[in-house]
């Protein structure tokens, strides 16, 4: 195993891309995962606007290959109502954690999940870091961010309502999702 700290730090500050999503989406999720055993970096970016239209971008890069896929679609009115029930709850609106401290650890994989919500009433940025296969003596363990549990309802909604669909592949489209922290 190698330390992913330096490799992942480079990915956390992606270069601003020339295209941007206009108008700003209601919700964005960016998940970066770096795998030490394969030297692969995965980037998933999801943008959802107030009407329920979404764009899902998946990019994988390794020393050998690069690939990307872009999907666009529409969630149902019922799914949007369930989404708003999560993000508009007083407990979710009260969340205020931002970028956790990075750790210099030897591990198999590291994952950063950043969620941004922007509407007329608020601009909210929530970020968690999770570490997988952390080497400690003769044992390996996972270290999950203390706040990961608070984001679980919205991450589960995204997985079920957007990521598992993968309909409407946009051919010859390049990922354009800019970073949440600019």
Given a contact cutoff of 8 angstroms between Cβ atoms, the answer to whether 74 and 53 are in contact is: yes
Residue 72 sits at the vertex; the CA angle it makes with 151 and 30, to the nearest 5 degrees, is 30
- If we measure between CA atoms, which residue out of 102, 35, 28, 32 comes closest to residue 63? 35
Q: Is the pTM of this model over 0.85?
A: no
pLDDT at 34: 87
Query: CB-based contacts of 157: which residues, under 8 Å, 6+ apart?
Result: 79, 82, 83, 86
Query: CB-based contacts of 67: which residues, under 8 Å, 6+ apart?
Result: 59, 60
Backbone angles phi and psi of 30, in degrees to 5: -125, 125
Q: Report the distance separating Cα 51 and Cα 41, nearest Å.
A: 31
Question: How far is it between the farthest Cα atoms of the chain?
Answer: 51
Query: pLDDT digit of tens for each residue in the chain (182 aa)?
Result: 333 333 333 333 333 333 444 567 899 999 988 888 788 889 999 999 999 999 999 998 888 888 889 999 999 999 999 999 999 999 999 888 766 566 666 777 888 888 999 888 888 888 888 888 787 766 777 777 778 888 889 999 999 999 888 778 888 887 777 665 54
């Amino acid at each position: 195993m190698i330390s992913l700290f330096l490799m992942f730090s480079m990915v956390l500050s992606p270069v601003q891309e020339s295209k941007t999503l206009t108008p700003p989406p209601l919700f964005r999720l960016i998940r970066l995962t770096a795998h030490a055993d394969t030297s692969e970096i995965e980037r998933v970016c999801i943008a959802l606007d107030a009407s329920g239209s979404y764009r899902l971008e998946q990019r994988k890069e390794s020393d050998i290959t690069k690939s990307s896929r872009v999907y666009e679609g529409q969630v149902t009115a019922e799914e949007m109502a369930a989404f708003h029930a999560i993000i508009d709850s007083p407990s979710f609106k009260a969340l205020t954690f931002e970028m956790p401290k990075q750790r210099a650890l030897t591990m198999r994989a590291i994952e950063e999940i950043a969620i941004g919500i922007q509407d007329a009433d608020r601009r909210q940025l929530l970020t968690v870091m999770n570490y997988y296969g952390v080497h400690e003596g003769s044992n390996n363990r996972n270290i999950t961010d203390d706040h990961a549990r608070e984001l679980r309802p919205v991450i589960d909604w995204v997985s079920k309502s957007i990521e598992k669909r993968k309909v409407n592949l946009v051919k010859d489209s390049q990922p354009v999702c800019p970073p949440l922290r600019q």
